[in-house]
Amino acid sequence: GAVVSQHPSWVICKSGTSVKIECRSLDFQATTMFWYRQFPKKSLMLMATSNEGSKATYEQGVEKDKFLINHASLTLSTLTVTSAHPEDSSFYICSARPSSGASYEQYFGPGTRLTVT
């Protein structure tokens, strides 16, 4: 149980284009989902917290107009990287907190490797 999927697992896009990453909780409902970014040999950095049906809360330094987050249902959150640049190349990983779970619970997806050329 408590499986989170991400799609795609890897994507290559050209500079200036937009790319959408999906995060799904497969066997539970998640009111809250999180989006992280990880640079090589660095820690997971929280980008934003998304709550179903409301606007995402972005961490300081994260451009909300560049990283669009939508959490339209209790099982799906999407991250759209708009007008991608090579510096956006990174590993993006989402997590989901069960609506009925403990406050510290979160289940992670396998991540998406984004390469912008």
Partner 1 sequence: DQQVKQNSPSLSVQEGRISILNCDYTNSMFDYFLWYKKYPAEGPTFLISISSIKDKNEDGRFTVFLNKSAKHLSLHIVPSQPGDSAVYFCAASAPYNFNKFYFGSGTKLNVKP
Binding site for partner 1 (CB under 8 A): 4, 9, 32, 34, 36, 41-46, 49, 57, 59, 93, 95, 103-111
Minimum separation from the CB atom of position 44 to partner 1 (A): 4
Strand-pair category, 19-25 with 44-51: unpaired
Minimum separation from the CB atom of position 21 to partner 1 (A): 13
Minimum separation from the CB atom of position 45 to partner 1 (A): 8
CB of 45 or CB of 74, closer to partner 1: 45
Closest listed residue to residue 115, CA positions, set 94, 93, 80, 85: 85
CB of 19 or CB of 33, closer to partner 1: 33
CB of 14 or CB of 41, closer to partner 1: 41
**Residues in Cβ contact with 74 at an 8 Å cutoff, skipping those fewer than 6 apart:** 25, 29, 30, 31, 52, 99
Give the whole-angstrom CA distance, residue 52 versus residue 39.
27
CB of 43 or CB of 65, closer to partner 1: 43
φ/ψ of residue 45, rounded to 5: -115, 125
Minimum separation from the CB atom of position 24 to partner 1 (A): 12
SS3 86: helix
